[in-house]
Structure 1
Amino acid sequence: MGQNHPVDISAKTDYAVRALLTIAAVQGGHPVSADTLAQEQQLPRKFLESILGDLRRGGLVVSQRGAAGGYTLARPADEIAVAEVFRVVAGPLAEVRGLRPHETSYDGAAQHLPTLWVAVRASLRDVLDETSLADLLSGELPAHVRELAHRPGAWQSR
């Protein structure tokens, strides 16, 4: 019997979103140190430092050196979609054997499978591109995201 492999939200992606939410939650946009982020979200510091470097290179945070240094968002939280975080730290939202869904091609009985893979990617985009850090902070998620989360069975494993 084959083993199921779920859509994987990596620790790196999870930590990146949590760190950005913590930075966004700071009043007045004061820099937040890596130590504070690691402590507040219980993240491994060395791994977090690598993630923060990716976020800085990806244009999502700005770093400031010195005693009062740390990280601030590069743009307001309502202008940073969760999908951007995924793409910066993990690459494309969906891949099939290392290919983008629209790059796949199959013969015979599987010929229509690329359409399904593209639809899966589109559904991820519908949630992640339309949800900002500010939405997550406030809990005011887009209506279609709330509807998905409240569907019967949404919180149950299958």
Structure 2
Amino acid sequence: MGQDFTADKGAAAAFAEAVFDDYSIGNTAFTWAPDITAGWMSGRGDPPGGRYNYSTRDDIWLIAGGLRFHYGAAWAWYRPLFFSVQPTLHTGRTPGLSGSYEFTLTLGWQAAHWMMGVRHISNAGLHLPNLGETMLVGGVTF
């Protein structure tokens, strides 16, 4: 749970994520794991306006699936650092999330029973506007 930001306006957000077993990428120190996320971001209640005429009233429900990458040996101090890439589908339209298809990128640290990271959801310029949503995420792992 946390708060996301677009154009200096915050909104509540919550995510549930499942990360599966790691697989080696050839003989390298890189691994990948399937990563699935479901989430919600509350609407901000602003009326339509601006040059794109989108409001921020819509609550956003999303589902994303992709890959999480790690680097290093299992005992390395930096091994818990990860980067994930997930194509994303969502409901609603806002200036930050203006198309049905987005991309979720997360850079974080996964410890034994907690996770912290920075997440950005954007359409990578496929549709205007392309403001995206950026948030700090933290959670408990099971």
After TM superposition, the score normalised by the length of structure 2 is: 0.23
Between structures 1 and 2, the one with greater strand share: 2
After TM superposition, the score normalised by the length of structure 1 is: 0.21
Between structures 1 and 2, the one with greater helix share: 1
